[in-house]
């Protein structure tokens, strides 16, 4: 039997890209999944695709940076499944530009979704997991959170904050049955990457050339790492990226 069979996974930003692929990987391993994102139509299409593969999937549209909406997501997950065993913090976006002209709206949006939103989800789901005395919280950071690149001030600093949250809250809850980990992918072939290429912000060749393997990561490769980290096979891994 799979190490996560029957468990309940809540995935933010779960309607497409890495989020959907992670939900699929967890579902294929026997988990029941709740997908959340802002756009209900995209969520419904994602859940329909998962169900066609025999995966138990439900959805609730929400903004992960809104505390009231996140509490509602958790409540609906508990009503549907009776527990939350795994939280995948994946919601994100990237808006790149010179620091001196960065619109404050773009700054606040990225920080709200990828920093504040991650904490709000950790806090709300964490309360449930601490009461259960078990659970795993996994957040998607980025190699951007470990280094510096021009014009990525909001994205990189928010992802660095995810790494710090992982370490701090992971240590705090380590003896209370809740593991907290994060994954920092390199450049991955997603719709977000393709949009940057289409807009002329980046080139696939440049990303490929600076990578040891000469190629960007595939979404499925990130999902497989996540599948391991949220399972009991990773039971001694916490408070780390």
| Active site positions, annotated | 155
Is residue 184 within 8 Å of 159, Cβ to Cβ? yes
- Residue among 76, 41, 40 nearest 61 (CA): 40
Rounded Cα distance between 110 and 158, Å, is 7
> Which residues touch 98 (CB under 8 Å, ≥6 apart)?
151
Is residue 222 within 8 Å of 188, Cβ to Cβ? yes
Rounded Cα distance between 177 and 158, Å, is 27
Any idea of the CA torsion for 17, 86, 51, 216, to the nearest 10 degrees?
A: 20
Strand order in the sheet with 32-37: 57-61, 32-37, 8-12, 86-89, 135-140, 178-183
State the DSSP code for 211.
S
Other residues' Cβ atoms within 10 Å of the Cβ of residue 195: 12
> Which residues touch 13 (CB under 8 Å, ≥6 apart)?
19, 36, 37, 64, 90, 91, 92
């Amino acid at each position: 039997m799979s190490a996560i069979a029957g468990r309940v996974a809540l995935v933010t930003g779960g309607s497409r890209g890495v989020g959907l692929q992670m939900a699929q990987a967890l579902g294929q391993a026997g988990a029941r999944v709740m997908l959340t994102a802002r756009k209900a139509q995209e969520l419904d299409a994602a859940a329909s695709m998962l169900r066609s593969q025999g995966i138990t999937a439900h959805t609730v549209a929400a903004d992960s940076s809104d505390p009231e909406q996140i509490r509602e997501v958790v409540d609906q997950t508990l009503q549907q499944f009776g527990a939350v065993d795994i939280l995948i913090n994946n919601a994100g976006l990237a808006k790149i530009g010179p620091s001196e002209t960065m619109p404050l709206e773009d700054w606040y949006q990225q920080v709200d979704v990828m920093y504040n939103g991650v904490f709000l989800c950790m806090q709300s789901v964490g309360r449930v997991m601490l009461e259960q005395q078990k659970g795993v919280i996994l957040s998607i950071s980025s190699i951007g959170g470990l280094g510096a690149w021009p014009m990525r001030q909001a994205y990189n600093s928010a992802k660095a904050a995810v790494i710090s949250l992982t370490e701090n809250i992971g240590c705090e809850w380590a003896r209370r049955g809740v593991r907290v980990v994060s994954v920092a992918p390199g450049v991955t072939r997603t719709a977000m990457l393709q949009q940057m290429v289409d807009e002329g912000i980046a080139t696939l060749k440049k990303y490929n050339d600076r990578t040891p393997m000469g190629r960007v990561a595939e979404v499925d490769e990130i999902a497989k790492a996540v599948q391991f980290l949220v399972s009991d096979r990773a039971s001694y891994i916490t408070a780390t990226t």
